[in-house]
Amino acid sequence: MNQYILEIIYLIASVTFVVGLKMLSEPQSARKGNLWAAFGMTLAIAGTIFLYESKDPDTHTSRESIKLAFIFAGIGLGTIIGWATAKKVKMTAMPELVSLFNGMGGACAALISLLEFHHNVGHPERIAVIMAGMIIGSVSFSGSNITFMILNGTLSKSYRMPNYNIINTILMLVTIAAGIYLTVSGTDSMILLLLVFLLALVYGISFVVPIGGADMPVVISLLNSFTGLAAAFGGFLYGNQVMLTGGILVGSAGTLLTVAMCRAMNRPLYSVIFGAFGESTATASGGQATGSIKDISITDVAVLMNYSKKVVIVPGYGLAVAQAQHVIHELEELLEERGVEVKYAIHPVAGRMPGHMNVLLAESNVDYGKLAEMDDINPEFATTDVVLVVGANDVVNPAAKTDPSSPIYGMPILDVENAKHIIVNKRSMNAGYAGIENNLFYNPKNNMLFGDAKEVLTKLVAELKTM
């Protein structure tokens, strides 16, 4: 009887996942969708705790109080930590947090496989599933931790060994081979199992470390779908439908999202993984930009903007780092009051995750309708008086269109150079995330406004108010 109730619960949970994801893809219903999925998840977890019975006659399911105590303590602890971290974190740190939580899921999957190995020896089909879950889960775990460290700045630059591609490929093959050996030979060797676990962890690190920061969103999304796969393998192992549907859903949706992101940057997935940005930096600087850079004072910017008809703001990660999203909204309102049309041009990969900028600007109550996507805004630059680029760099780099040797060549960019005036706010002349020189700064129409985005914008707002 309980079995049937549980099956129905799982079915309901799977449906809430699908409906939740569907609702998440529309702005109006997104929040509800998330709550639906969370509701389904709670139901599935509670159902498993109280109703689950093993279908395998060899294993015995029981509910001694000590076990339940362990389970509830685990859930309690995880809830408190998870809730507190998620509530406390700054909006700018969102991407790395998602990555961290993703790693937790991967670690969970790997641990399950470690624990299930011993008493499933002798069932090659189960060991195969266990191996797959463990390897993918471990790669996702260690890889996500590296993305976390890269994003929060602990690992400031990408490290790469000579021939890292070959080393990585060999490492991956060895890991898989060891997994296959354990499956086929049927040995019950804990040492070998731990070795595979370790190899997979190392592979996860060496797989992510050489990838440049600019590609991190793609990597997070990829690892996200990895963890989905790992969960799905868990579903296979237990014949558990909700794990299977949940895992596969995330796996396929995540893969699609990854591909969509790659397309936004016009780079095939394999080049993200095997030929990271940094490698080509040397050749890119070969096309050294020439010309002079012009500074501009805040007062001049204020005057310029005050007498413009149309201003387009291009926000980038620099804006997020400086926490300047509220000031920029203030600036926008001030200009609107004076009859200046203001829009935000959002590049698909602005920030460190697609949509990151939208989330940030939404936080400071910027009107949804003012956020224009790249394809919609590009034709408008010709009629724009002033473009204000705040902390963005690679997404406005004309080299993507003109310089075939540039590593970002082919990436669609915002055509800010068509505007009458360009003002770029940056902290320094350092190259952007992809580590490439930007010719835009040497454009005669361009003026540099050096300084921290928040400071500069605050002064700009103050200056405008006096006019």
Partner 1 sequence: MIYIVILSIFVGVEVIGKVPSVLHTPLMSGANAIHGVVIIGSIIVMLNTEADNILLLSLGFIAVVLGTLNVVGGFVVTDRMLEMFKKKPKKS
Q: Which of residues 52-81 bind partner 1 (CB under 8 A)?
A: 52, 54, 59-64, 66-67, 70-71, 73-75, 77-79, 81
Helix (H, G, I), strand (E, B) or coil at 211: coil
User: Of 219-227, 295-303, 393-401, 447-455, which segment contacts partner 1 by CB under 8 A?
Assistant: 219-227
Total residues binding partner 1 (CB under 8 A): 116
Q: Measured between alpha carbons, how far is 38 from 30 in angstroms, rounded to an integer?
A: 13
Report 257-276 residues binding partner 1 (CB under 8 A): 257, 260-261, 264
Q: Measured between alpha carbons, how far is 404 from 280 in angstroms, rounded to an integer?
A: 12
248 versus 293: smaller Cβ distance to partner 1: 248
Distances (CA, A) of 117 to 122, 149, 197, 202: 10, 31, 12, 20
Q: Measured between alpha carbons, how far is 60 from 84 in angstroms, rounded to an integer?
A: 36
8-state DSSP, 348: T
Report the residue from 237, 265, 400, 413 that binds partner 1 according to the rule CB under 8 A.
237
Phi, psi of 372, rounded to the nearest 5 degrees? -105, 135
User: Of 120-128, 149-157, 227-235, 288-296, which segment contacts partner 1 by CB under 8 A?
Assistant: 227-235
Residue 425 C-beta: closest distance to partner 1, Å = 23
Single-letter amino acid code for the residue at 433: Y
Residue 423 C-beta: closest distance to partner 1, Å = 25
Residue 270 C-beta: closest distance to partner 1, Å = 20
Does the annotation count 394 as an active-site position? yes
109 versus 200: smaller Cβ distance to partner 1: 109
Query: CB burial class (10 A; 0-12, 13-18, 19+) of residue 159?
Result: exposed
Report 368-387 residues binding partner 1 (CB under 8 A): 368, 371, 373
What binding mask, one character per residue, do residues 180-199 give for partner 1 by CB under 8 A, x or -?
--------------------
Under the criterion CB under 8 A, does residue 213 sit at the interface with partner 1? Answer: no
Any residues with CB less than 8 A from the CB of 351 and at least 6 apart, and which? 95, 315, 316, 317, 320, 357, 360
Residue 316 C-beta: closest distance to partner 1, Å = 15
- State the catalytic residue, choosing from 58, 300, 394, 403: 394
Report 87-116 residues binding partner 1 (CB under 8 A): 87, 89, 91, 94-95, 97-98, 100-102, 104-105, 107-109, 111-112, 114-116
Q: Measured between alpha carbons, how far is 329 from 321 in angstroms, rounded to an integer?
A: 16
Count CB neighbours of 65 within 10 A.
Answer: 7
The catalytic residues are 394
